[in-house]
Structures are given as structure tokens and as C-alpha cells.
Structure 1
Amino acid sequence: MEILIESLPRFIGATWLTLQITALSVFIGFCMALPLSVLRVSRSPLLSWPVYAFTFYFRGTPLLVQIFLIYYGSGQFVAQLEAVGLWYFFQNPWFCAVLALTLNTAAYSTEIFRGGIQGVPFGEIEAARACGMSGALLYRRIILPRALRVVWPAYTNEVIFLLQASSLVSIITVMDITGVAGEIATRSFAFYEVYLFAAALYIVIVYGVLWVFRRIESRLNTHLQAEAL
């Protein structure tokens, strides 16, 4: 207990860093996935195939490999990255961690949203078209809101998986919960106590995120609850 009490400030900072990396990756990945999912269901191969290639790669390779390629692999292109002013970012492990997690969750979320878009009943789309909606207006008012309600539980699971997978960023010296736990355990040899405490922190965060996303799901389905009453 003395080790855990002494290390509590470091664990608090690591918890904040874990939440920061996860939240930023989820937000940017969500903003990327929505337009990519629309392109993914396009009938034009010029629009759909590049997105398919993106999701094919990031869903088919381990996240750890993606992190290594972005962090260590970028070191082979220092001159090129310096020429365009990007080496400052790629030499920062925090930036590489966020970039890898963002691209990974964007790929998975794109396929989740694609399934939701394709699952929107055709009758609702035809009814919207009969009211004069088309193009971006149709997607904004009918298709995307309906698709989000359908896929929200699956998307919630994706966010949870990403939160848990964020522990891999400790491999590139990012001091998240797992990174701090590994350093403390290595110095104190209290592996069981330290990693059990880290696991407890992840459990608290995971169920906190679940509570937030269930509240959002409840708001998305408010009209269904009203109809049931």
C-alpha cells in the first residue's frame, strides 16, 4: 500500500493522459469516419475504393505494428518530414500515439457507420426524397441520424476497445496508465499490486465511458421511448 500511495500522483497524471489520448483519438476518428462512410457506400469506384483500401489496411494489421510504423518508421524519412515541417510532430511519441489510434478507430468506425447507412430502411429514404430532400440534406436529416441510432451500441464497443488498446502506446514511451505501472513495478518488484491497481483504474474508466455513451444512446432514442409510453 505504501508503494501505491506514493505513486498515486503519477497514476492520476497517467489517467488524465490516457483519457486525453483516447478522447482526442475518438473525436478526430469520429469526424473522419462520417464522411468516409458516405464515400464508402458511393457507387463510384473512384470514391469508394480508396476508402476501402484505407479500412482494409488498418483493420487487417495489428495496432502495435501501426504504432511502430508511425513512430519508428518515420525516422527513416527525417529529411523529407523536415522539408515539409512535420518532423517536429513525428518525433513526439504523444503525437504518434494519437495519430495511430485515430487512424485505427477511423477505419473501424467507417465500416460500422457504413453498415448503419446501408441499414437505413429504403422507405424512409424514398419518403424524404418525396419531400424534396436530396444529397447532403438527405444525409444530414435522415440517413446519418438514423444510421447513428442503429450502430451506436457497436460504436460504443469500438470506443471501449480503443480505450483498452491505448495501453499499447506505453511501448513508445508514452507514460499512460500502463506505462507508469510498468515503470513502478520494475523498480519496486510489486508487479501484482501495481498492475492490479492499474486494472482497477481501467475498469473505473471503462464503466464511466459506458455510462456516458448509454446516456447518449438514450437521448438518441428518446422518440422511441415516447412512443412506448
Structure 2
Amino acid sequence: MIDIIQQYWKAFLWTDGYHLSGLAVTMWLLVVSIAFGFCASIPLAIARVSKSKWLSRPVWLFSYVFRGTPLYIQLLFFYTGMYSLDMVRDVDILNHFFREGYNCTILAFGLNTCAYTTEIFAGAIKATPYGEIEAGRAYGMNKFTLYRRVIIPSALRRALPAYSNEVILMLHATTVAFTATVPDILKVARDVNAATYDSFNAFGLAALIYLCITFILVALFRKAESKWLAHLRPMKA
């Protein structure tokens, strides 16, 4: 392990002026995809719980497709499948977008986590206590204000434990990014293994890095839960 760290730690952890480290690429993929999925999932979750089938059915279909197919297949579909279409290659913007592995990876990751997050938030919205809604109406809030000031903040707080699991699962899912030639932590580990044939140390170091990131994420979410879900703690006798 010491030899591997001495020879290849820069590829795993160090970013220079020309190349991002595997850790930096992995965190970039995670942050961008999670941010995209979070922002898109809130309006989609509202549409998902709507009584109008014209709003809820398309969101249900989107969620069903992306939760019902493997992320690896989705990445291959965007990275190789889309670019094989003549209509994509003939349009400059589409041709440039789907030719880049980073773009396809972010698109696949963002849509995948958006589908799962939409269902998490939709479930939290449905579980909003009716008394909170009645209290908002008693203050004369219209539907938009009710969602903005009561339902959405309350739902996001209750969804925090489930959403923390989704973020951690998304971190682990970034390991398929090497398929699109994106140099994440696993891609660096595979390159180290190919150069040294020391699989135990190469992948062991990668696993250690993922474990440290997961530990930090869990600690951050636990701190957030202790702050924003304090009112749900059982009362002491």
C-alpha cells in the first residue's frame, strides 16, 4: 500500500494545472448530478402528487423508466446509443454534446438521481400532516404560497434521511463513469492496476477513498438531521 501511495497518490488525490485528480472528478460528478437532480425533482414531485393526470402521469413514466433500468445501461444509451443516430450527428449542438463523455455522464447521473429524488420528495409531500395545510389556509395562503412556505419546507425536512441514502448511493454509482472514459477514482484505480498488476493495493486505496467520502457525507447529513428534525425526536419523560 505504501508503494502505491508514493507512486500514484497524485493521480488519486492531487489536481495540477492540467489534470483533475480522480477524487476531484468523482466529487464534481456527484455535486453536479445531485444539484441537477435536486433542483429538477422539486417541481416534478409537485407534479407527481397532482390530481391532474396530465401532470402526474408523465412524471410517473419518467420515474418508472429511470428507476426501472440500470444506470449503467442509461449511461451507455446516452454515450454510445445517442451518438449513433444520424439526427444527433447532423446537429452541431447535439453532436458536440453527446460526443463528450463528461456531458453524457452528467446527463445520465442527473436524470437517474432526479427520478429517485422525485419519488422521495413526492412521498414526503403526501405525508405532510393535514393540520399544517389547514393552518396555512387559515392564514389565507393561496396554493402557491402554501407549497412554498409550508408543504415544501416541511417535506424536505422529513425526506432528509431517505435523501441522504440517495446521495450516498449516487456516490457509489459514480463508479460506472469510467465507461464514458471519465477519469474518476475507479478509472485511476484501473489504470494503476494495469500498470502495476497490484490489484489489492490499487482497488484497496480506491475503496478507502470512497469509504472516507461516505463517512464525511454521513456525518454531514446526521448533523443536518439533528438540526432540522429536532422537533420529531421523542419527548423525554
Bin of the TM-score, shorter chain as denominator length: over 0.9
Query: Match for 2:211 among 203, 217, 226?
Result: 203
Query: Match for 2:122 among 114, 126, 133?
Result: 114
State the distance in 1 between where 2:231 and 2:224 align.
13
RMSD of aligned residue pairs (Cα, Å): 1.7
> Greater helix share, 1 or 2?
1
Identity of aligned residues (%): 39
Matched residue, 2:5: 4
Name the amino acid aligned to 2:155.
Answer: A
SS of residue in 2 equivalent to 1:133: coil
Deviation at 1:224, TM superposition (A): 5.6
State the distance in 2 between where 1:155 and 1:146 align.
14
Name the amino acid aligned to 1:77.
Answer: L
Query: Match for 2:140 among 128, 132, 136?
Result: 132
With over 3 angstroms needed to count, the CA separation of the structure-2 counterparts of 1:45 and 1:170, relative to structure 1, is same
Matched residue, 1:212: 220
State the distance in 2 between where 1:209 and 1:84 align.
39
Matched residue, 1:88: 96
Deviation beyond 4 Å, 4+ runs, structure 1: 222-225
State the TM-score, normalized to the length of structure 1.
0.94
How many residues are matched? 228
Deviation at 1:55, TM superposition (A): 0.1
Deviation at 1:214, TM superposition (A): 2.0
Per-residue CA distance 1:20-69 (angstroms, 9 max, x = gap): 10011001100000000000000111111110010000000000000000
- Pairing 1:25–2:33 present: yes
Deviation at 1:82, TM superposition (A): 4.4
Given that 1:29 and 1:106 are in contact with CA atoms closer than 8 Å, whether structure 2 keeps it comes out as yes
State the TM-score, normalized to the length of structure 2.
0.91
Matched residue, 2:73: 65
Given that 1:26 and 1:105 are in contact with CA atoms closer than 8 Å, whether structure 2 keeps it comes out as yes
Per-residue CA distance 1:118-171 (angstroms, 9 max, x = gap): 000112101211111121110111101111111100000000000001001112
Deviation at 1:4, TM superposition (A): 2.6
User: Counterparts in 2 of 1:91-102, with a 5 A limit?
Assistant: 91-102=99-110
SS of residue in 1 equivalent to 2:209: helix
